[in-house]
Chains A and B, each alone.
Chain A
Amino acid sequence: MSDLEHSTPVELSRTPNSVEGKRVLGVVPGKPAAGERKVIDPDDSVMVWPHLLVRHAVAAMVTLLTVMVIAVFFDAPLREVANPQNTPNPEKAPWYFAALQELLSMFHPLVAGILIPGAIVIGLVALPYIDNSRFIKPRHRKVAVTAFTSFMVIWIVLTLIGFMFRGPNWGWVWPWQEWHGEL
C-alpha cells in the first residue's frame, strides 16, 4: 500500500518540486503522481542546476578527452580487402561476442548460440521481477548479488579467453607469445 494514502497533510506538502512550501508543477494533492511511490525529502535534495549538471559536464568532458586522446595515438585497424575465398585462421567474432564464440567451442551450437544467450537476456529482463524484495544494500540480497557476480566473472573470463588466448584452429595461445585479438 502506498505510504501517501496514509500520509498526514504535512507529509503531503513535502512534494519534490515544492519550494517555499508551494508546489511548482503538476502534483495533485493527496495522490501519488504515479503508482505506489514515496516522495523524496526536500531537505535531502538539491537543485540539479548547478549541482548535478556541473558534475555531468565534467564527466562528459573527461569522456570526450579520453576518446580524443586515444584516437590520436591509436589508429582504427584496416586489414586487406575482404576475400570470401581466404578464411583467416583463427576466425574471430568481435570481442563482445568472444565469450559466445568460446562457448560455441565447448557446447553444441544450439546450446551455446541460442539457449545460453537467450537465457541470459531473459534472466536480465526478469531480474527486477525475481529480485523484488525491498532490500537495496548488496548484503541484504546475497542470492541476487552472488548470481549476478558469478555470471559477470564467468562472462569476463570467457571474453578474455576468446579474445586473447585463442589462436589458430581455436587452440590455446599465450597472448604474450602470439597475439590474435582484434579490435
Chain B
Amino acid sequence: MSLTKNDRDEAVGAHDGPDRGRADELVERLRGTPVGKSIFRSPRRITPRDRAAGHWSSFLLHIYPVKIRKKELAFKYSWYLGVVSMVLLGSLIASGVYLMFFYVPSPANAYTNIQTIQTEVPFGQYVRNVHRWSAHLMVLAVAAHMARVFYRGAYKKPREFNWVIGVVLLMLTLLMSFTGYLLPWDQLAFWAVTVGTEMAGYVPFIGDQVKEVLLGGPTVDSSTLLRFYVLHVAVLPTLIIFVLMIHLWRWRKDSMFDQQTEDGDE
C-alpha cells in the first residue's frame, strides 16, 4: 500500500513534542483552514485522542484499527504476508487493466494480440511480465499467509470464521490464476486448461454437465475463452475484492481483542 498525502499528514502527529518543525506547523495550519477541516474533519493532531479521531475520519486509514498489539508489529508475527498478497493483487489489477486495452478474447485475435502487446504496445512485454509473475507470486503469498496464520494459531477464537473466509480467498486466487492462464491462447494455455478442466468431468453423475458449464462445450474452444475471460476480468475480481473487504473488516474488528489463550505468555 503506497503512502498517500493523507497518510503523510497523519505522520506529522507521530513526532509531536518540542521539536515540531515549521513543516508540521504549516500542515497543522492547512488542516485548520475551512477547507482543511472539511477534508480531514479533525484538524489537530497533538494528543493521542486527536490522532485517534483523525485516524477514524480518514477513509484511507479506516481499514486499519487505530491501535494494535505491540507484538503484531514484528516481522516474525505475520511475515507481512497478508500485505504482500494485497499488494500483488493491486499490481495484478493495475497491470491487468492495461493489458485489457489490447486484448480481444477470441481464438482469432487472442494470440496475435499477445504478440502485439509484446512487440508493439509501449511497455507491453514488461506489463505482461509483471502480470504473470505477480500472479504466480500471489498464489505463493496467499498459501504462505495461510501457513503462517496456522502456525501462529491466529485462526483461534474469536477468529475462526475469518480463517474460513481466507480459505475462500485462496480458492478465488487459484481460480483467478487458472482462468487467466487460458487467455494467451498458446499451446501452454490451451493444454494446461484442458488438463485442469478434465478433473471436473470426474464429478459423479453430473461430471459432463459440470464440464460443459465450465467450458461452454465438450472441449476448450472459443466459448471457453470468452467464459474464462469474463470470469477473469469481471466476476472473480469483483468477488475477490468483496470477500477481501469482509476479511479485512473482520481482521480490524478482531485486532482490538486479544485471543483468549490458556498457554500463558508468549
Chain A partners chain B: yes
CB distance from A157 to the nearest CB of B (A): 15
Given A19-B49, A81-B186, A110–B191 Cβ distance below 8 Å?
A: no
Partner-contacting stretch, out of B19-27, B33-41, B65-73, B237-245? B65-73
**Interface residue B14 (Cβ < 8 Å from any Cβ of A):** yes
Chain B 234-266 interface 0/1 with A at a Cβ cutoff of 8 Å (1 = within): 000000000000000000010011111111001
CB distance from B119 to the nearest CB of A (A): 11
Given A67-B91, A84-B220, A59–B83 Cβ distance below 8 Å?
A: yes
Q: Is the CB of B199 within 8 A of A109?
A: yes
Q: Which of B172-225 contact A (CB under 8 A)?
A: 174, 177-178, 181, 184-192, 194-196, 198-199, 202-204, 219-221
Chain A 123-134 interface 0/1 with B at a Cβ cutoff of 8 Å (1 = within): 011011101111
A-B contact count (CB 8 A): 277
CB distance from A96 to the nearest CB of B (A): 5
Q: Is the CB of B7 within 8 A of A53?
A: yes
**Interface residue B44 (Cβ < 8 Å from any Cβ of A):** no
Q: Is the CB of B260 within 8 A of A96?
A: no
Q: Is the CB of A45 within 8 A of B68?
A: yes
Name B's interface SS.
helix
Q: Is the CB of A135 within 8 A of B261?
A: yes
Q: Is the CB of A71 within 8 A of B133?
A: yes
A92 to B193, CA, bound (A): 9
Q: Is the CB of A94 within 8 A of B196?
A: yes
Q: Is the CB of B256 within 8 A of A17?
A: yes
**Interface residue A39 (Cβ < 8 Å from any Cβ of B):** yes
Of the candidates A33, A68, A97, the one whose C-beta lies within 8 Å of that of B256 is A33
Q: Which of A72-109 contact B (CB under 8 A)?
A: 72, 74-84, 86-88, 91-97, 100-101, 104, 109
Given A49-B55, A60-B2, A81–B66 Cβ distance below 8 Å?
A: no
Across the interface, which residues of A come within 8 angstroms of B256, CB to CB? 16-17, 33, 39-40
Across the interface, which residues of A come within 8 angstroms of B111, CB to CB? 81-82
**Interface residue A113 (Cβ < 8 Å from any Cβ of B):** yes
Q: Is the CB of B188 within 8 A of A79?
A: yes
Across the interface, which residues of A come within 8 angstroms of B129, CB to CB? 70-72, 74-76
A110 to B185, CA, bound (A): 29
Q: Which of B75-126 contact A (CB under 8 A)?
A: 75, 80, 83-84, 87-88, 91, 107, 111, 114-115, 118, 125-126
Q: Is the CB of B130 within 8 A of A67?
A: yes
A80 to B181, CA, bound (A): 15
A145 to B156, CA, bound (A): 13
Q: Which of B2-38 contact A (CB under 8 A)?
A: 2-3, 7, 10-11, 13-14
Across the interface, which residues of B come within 8 angstroms of A25, CB to CB? 56
Across the interface, which residues of A come within 8 angstroms of B2, CB to CB? 57, 60
Q: Is the CB of A67 within 8 A of B134?
A: yes
Across the interface, which residues of B come within 8 angstroms of A3, CB to CB? 260
**Interface residue B164 (Cβ < 8 Å from any Cβ of A):** yes
Q: List 7 A-B contacts (CB under 8 A).
A: A75-B118, A88-B191, A91-B194, A129-B160, A134-B157, A135-B262, A136-B153
Top-5 shortest CB links A-B: A136-B153, A82-B190, A128-B160, A71-B129, A76-B132
| Chain A residues proximal to chain B, CB less than 8 Å | 3, 16-17, 19-20, 22, 24-25, 33-42, 44-53, 55-57, 59-60, 63-64, 66-68, 70-72, 74-84, 86-88, 91-97, 100-101, 104, 109-110, 113-114, 117, 121, 124-125, 127-129, 131-138, 140-141, 145, 148, 152, 182-183
